[in-house]
Amino acid sequence: MSIDQFVNEIQNRKKNDLASLDKKLSDKKSETNAKKNSAVKELKDNYANEAKTKAEREGARIVEAGKLEAKKILFDAINKNLDSTFDVIKKELGDYSKKPEYKKVMQKLVDYSKKMLAKELVVHCREEDKSFFKSGVKVGSTIQTIGGFVAENKEGTMEIDLTFEELLRNNEDEIKNTILEKIL
């Protein structure tokens, strides 16, 4: 074998080895690119799903916050309406205390007080109501009220507040429920 043949054979082997290495490199590149593309696609899908989930959660939170705010606005409007209604009721009671029927109500309140406290009472009332009270009822101090009075036994040990304001306060829940039933 001659040197030229030997050199040619070495060069041929070298070319074959290089071709084989190039093919392996190309295969590895393709495999690596496929893995990279698969990993990138998986990451994109994961982030897209995570972003979608977060967006849905945030959207739901915003909707619920909006519903809560709407309920708050409705509740505030109802409360303002109730406050306004109570103001009207107080005004009507003030007007009622100037009517003749008011004396009948006052007599019923006196009778109730005598039944609950004692036959002899001391009442605290408005200045304009002092002339109403007769026997068995002593008029005490004047008080600031729409109507009605505060009664006590003559010893001052028991008291009952029958002012219109207190009667309203005692029946406030029932009155509000009645009004809400009519509104809603």
Length of the chain counted residue by residue: 184
Span 99-183: which CATH code? 3.30.2320.30
Backbone angles phi, psi at 154, to 5 degrees: -70, -20
The answer to whether the predicted template modeling score (pTM) of the entire model surpasses 0.75 is no
Report helix angle 3-96 to 172-183, nearest 10. Answer: 120
pLDDT (tens digit, 9 = 90+) per residue, 88-130? Answer: 889 999 999 999 999 999 999 999 999 988 888 999 999 999 8
Q: What whole-number distance in Å separates Cα of residue 80 and Cα of residue 101?
A: 31
The CA–CA distances, whole Å, from 4 to 1, 17, 104 equal 8, 19, 142
pLDDT at 1 over 70: no
Q: Which DSSP letter does residue 132 get?
A: G
Q: Which two tokens stand for residue 133?
A: 């009270």
Angle, CA 82 vertex, CA 78 and CA 84 arms, to 5°:
115
